[in-house]
Structure 1
Amino acid sequence: MAAADAAAIAAGTPGVELMARAGLAVADAICERHAPRPTAVLCGPGNNGGDGYVVARILAERGWEVWVERLALPATDDAKAAAALWTGETFEVGDAARQGELFVDALFGAGLSKPLDGEAARLARMCERVPDRVVAIDLPSGLAGDTGRILGDTAFCAALTVTFHAKKPVHVLEPGASRCGEIVVADIGLSTSGHALMENTPELWLSRFPWPGADAHKHSRGRLVVVSGEVWNTGAARLSARAGLRMGAGLVTLLSPTDALAVNAAHLEAVMLRGFDTEVELEQIAADVDAAIIGPAAGVNETTLLNVLALARTGAALVIDADAITVFRDDPEELFSVLDVDDVLTPHPGEFERLFPGLLKDAPERITAARRAAKKADAIVLLKGPDTVIAAPDGRTAVNTNGSPWLATAGSGDVLAGFVGALIAQGMESFEAACAAAWIHADAADLHGPGLISEDLPGLASAVLRRLYGAREI
């Protein structure tokens, strides 16, 4: 953003003009959501504070009762110019003998690099108690713009955040994202350039979603296999298989150890079933499939390790989850040596740590960690969480922003693996398939809400798919 600002100014747009556009965008967003009310604009010394002076001036011109509470005198030329145009009441923070019903946080924005202290920290703690009365300019003060982390022990919490040009990591990564409330991205005339970091929305992948054509048949819609665990650990693989079928894979087969065939057969209908006893048999059965899922309740044992290696020899795109990740914790390089860019790893943070020791802890945030992992593994990495990150070896990275708390239930990850595998089997590029699956997975969970269990998710996906199908470009 600093580079974009500098480029706009170098191209002839004065900084005060960019500030005026930013302040107008914030004032418009406020007026669209609130009737006039007593409003305190909290201004810091930098350009974020300068935006605040513009907001105060515009609100006052529109008939609002508004005043400025400044943390310090304006310190930049643009902020000084904006403050000079403000002719209303100005108080030092804490000195206004007035009670605001709305607070505009214009203290620091993205430039802050140290914890809030003194009056700023006091204001943050106060606003944490009434976030519905807080509007943040750019981002809530006290958060790190490039990581989403809280700098210290407190930060502002807002119901509305107005940022400019594009979202920043703080707007999509926890815990910052939850403190931003509704996020409005305002266009203030900065140039747009391509970037490898994206928000995961249907616009990213919907145009390449593998909808069936009029001449489609089950064999043309992709062949997916899922490897079952032993006799007492079969349910997770069935969840994946059912999810794969619901996501459109034409033929889904559960590959089962022979001693688990009976229990699997008792629970399957459209999903087919085949037995195997050795990794050689598994490789032969899976020789002609498009995608294979292994890991859900597979067991952390040598059998699972050998089965992963066998599937890797088939040429099918692999979705490796759960136990099939953990089984390589003592020698991750053995797994990496057989992966390629079409394969997808779907770890939660604990499993991620087993494959990539220390990487998550040492990275500034999850985006960097996932990118480094994808490059190291030479495969797609889907790092699960409330802010799921999907990264490709070439640097493309998407952050899921529709995460649902209802997914915190056993088996939801198995369903996600099934969604990913089905989309790849139908010919969708693996990075886009992982992005689409993660978004649909979360959207389906929100459709149900409280009481969701993993068995619900495949059926819920139908409503999401129907809506996406209606929104496609014809």
Structure 2
Amino acid sequence: MTGAAILSAAEMRAAEAELFATGIPEYDVMERAGAVAAALIWRVGGLRDTLVLCGPGNNGGDGFVIARLLRTQGVPVRVATTGDSRTPSARQARMLWDGPVDDIGDTAPATLLVDALFGTGLTRGIDDALASRLRSLAGAARKCFAIDLPSGVSTDDGALLSVPPHYDMCIALGALKPAHVLAPAADLSRQIVCADIGIDTSSAMTRLLGPPILHAPARDAHKYTRGLVAVVAGDMPGAAALAACSAAHGGAGYVRLVTPHPISGLPHAIIQIADHEPDSRNALSDARIAALLIGPGLGRGAAAVARVRAALTHGHPAVIDADALLALRETGFDLLPGKAILTPHMGEFDALYGQVSGTWLARAQEAAQRSKAVVILKGARSIIAAPDGRIAVSSPASSWLSTAGTGDVLAGLCAARLAVTGDPFRAACEAVWLDGDAARRAGAAFVADQLIAALPAAIAARLSKGSSC
């Protein structure tokens, strides 16, 4: 994974401790953080009058550094505090600030507001009067900046411990935190920028989903080397048709649709095999199948469970979606092949896994470990979790995806990428990213068919130049 690292409060403390263990003083890191944040604020705000709110800890120390550096640029800066600075680095930063310091309860508002009250590690809400004062000052400002995290949010689960204002920019220090990507805290900031302060995040297992690097087919490729996808249809043929078309446009070399009823209007390149014909069993036993997809339009009940059992018996890498996920409650996870992707939305997740405690990141991770499969927990930000501990979190998806059939498109895209790559986690990451980019390209008020039509352009934009596989 190449996206920005996401560290919990404990992971961030450990990463900082490793940095300090190299001999770099804690205060030097505070200076780095303040310098990066000040540069970002200067770029947006220029010489507009600025009020920096500083809390008692190191987040407040960052604020004093920011104020001092902005002042050297000619910015009229005031600082307001909640009281004394309590950490050695924060006290040093305050000592180096030679400008005015107001009480936060009495200070006047400014055009720009910088919230450096409380950052990573907050475990309880801030005082109601202070929270109200913060909202009042933010409401009077033209632009608001949060340093590391908005004051009043829980770092690891994104919960609102108090009622914070909204911000134009949140400057994450060293790494993103779960609160930057988990609602409701993630929705507080219009823009989130991660500032490099020298923290080593190379071993981070949780990351923001980055754009994939894709490859064109090799010059000697043919339909089977590019990947054969078998889609098992059910009671609702339209869903399976969407999934099959998505797989065909998602990079698979060959798509085979096993269906109880002929489906009209499909591209001729998608081969339909009636599942009551003698050769339908052979259609799924074909060793050349690189990925099996079952679930879109499958239906429910004993017949659906039997169809899932029969399909998974062959051991092909598989994508399990929609109704097939509910069938897994009956079959159990032991039936899953060694390479599998499960694609539940939150309702299906709860139905399949029951009450799993913890944050959405933790829940997705536990689900992946329990099922020994890659799990895509679908939502406004989809979470992709692998059994080995890797997690990728997507950027916010287009709200226009909330229309019938788009889940079938994602399932087909997962199957195509699984057939191409042979790697469930990579395939899931590629599929989620491409699905989001196709939605962006499709614009407003699209239907699932138009989402499929946008997939080739999304894939073309991510092709590595001069290479193929």
Match of 2:324 in 1: 324
State the secondary structure of the residue aligned to 1:451: coil
Alignment of 1:302-381 (within 5 A): 302-329=302-329, 331=330, 334-359=331-356, 362-363=357-358, 365-381=359-375
Contact 1:341 1:393 in 2 (8 A): no
Gaps of 5+ in 1: none
Q: Does 1:242 align with 2:242?
A: no
The residue type equivalent to 1:318 in the other structure is A
Q: C-alpha distance in 2, partners of 1:473/1:187?
A: 32
Greater Cα shift, 177-186 or 32-41: 177-186
Say whether the 8 Å CA contact 1:224–1:425 is kept in structure 2: yes
Contact 2:54 2:115 in 1 (8 A): yes
Question: Equivalent residue for 1:11?
Answer: 22
Residue aligned with 2:461, SS = helix
Q: Deviations over 1:220-242 (max 9, x none)?
A: 21111112222xx2111111000
Deviations 1:285-344 (A, max 9, x none): 211221111111110121211111111111211111111112344x4xx23011134111
Amino acid at match of 1:222: G
Amino acid at match of 1:396: R
Evaluate the alpha carbon distance shift between residue 472 and residue 61 of structure 1 in structure 2; reply closer, same or farther with a 3 A threshold. Answer: farther
Deviation at 1:434, TM superposition (A): 0.3
Q: Which moved more, 1:334-343 or 1:385-394?
A: 334-343
How many residues align? The count is 455
Q: Which residue of 2 aligns with 1:384?
A: 378
* CA-CA distance at 1:449 after TM superposition: 2.6
Counterpart position of 1:299: 299
Cα deviation, residue 428, structure 1: 3.5
**1:23-66 Cα deviation digits (max 9, x unpaired):** 01100011122221111101111000000011011111111111
Q: How far is 1:10 from its partner?
A: 2.5
The CA distance in 1 between the partners of 2:394 and 2:333, in whole Å, is: 25
Q: Distance in 2 between matches of 1:58 and 1:396?
A: 38
C-alpha displacement at 1:469, in angstroms?
A: 1.1
What TM-score, normalized by structure 1, do the two folds share?
0.91
Q: Are the aligned partners of 2:239 and 2:408 in contact in 1 as well (CA < 8 Å)?
A: yes
> Which of residues 179, 203, 209 is equivalent to 2:188?
179
**AA at the equivalent of 2:194:** V
Amino acid at match of 1:177: A
Paired position in structure 2 for 1:277: 276
Correspondence for 2:5: none
Paired position in structure 1 for 2:8: none
Contact 1:340 1:378 in 2 (8 A): no
Query: CA offsets, 1:202-261, max 9 Å, x none?
Result: 2xx52xx4530111122221111112222xx2111111000000011111121110xx21
Shift of the 466–128 alpha-carbon distance from structure 1 to 2, 3 Å rule, reads farther
Quick check: 1:402–1:439 contact (8 Å CA) kept in 2?
no
Q: Which of 434, 453, 456 matches 1:462?
A: 456
User: Alignment partner of 1:337: what SS?
Assistant: helix
Report 1:63-78 matches (<5 A). 63-78=74-89
Q: Distance in 2 between matches of 1:276 and 1:385?
A: 33
Question: Is 1:215 the counterpart of 2:209 in the alignment?
Answer: no
Counterpart in 1 of 2:446? 452
Deviation of the 1:382 alpha carbon: 0.6
Separation in 1, partners of 2:141, 2:440: 23
User: Shift of the alpha carbon at 1:356?
Assistant: 0.4
Paired residues of 2:109 and 2:137 also in contact (CA < 8 A): no
Confirm or deny that 1:251 pairs with 2:250: no
Relative to the length of structure 2, the TM-score reads 0.92
Letter in structure 2 aligned against 1:174: A
What is the Cα deviation at residue 472 of structure 1? 7.7
CA distance in 2, matches of 1:86, 1:266: 71
Q: Which runs of 5+ in 2 are unaligned?
A: 1-11
Residues of 2 paired with 1:372 and 1:17: CA distance? 38
SS of 2:224's equivalent in the other structure is coil
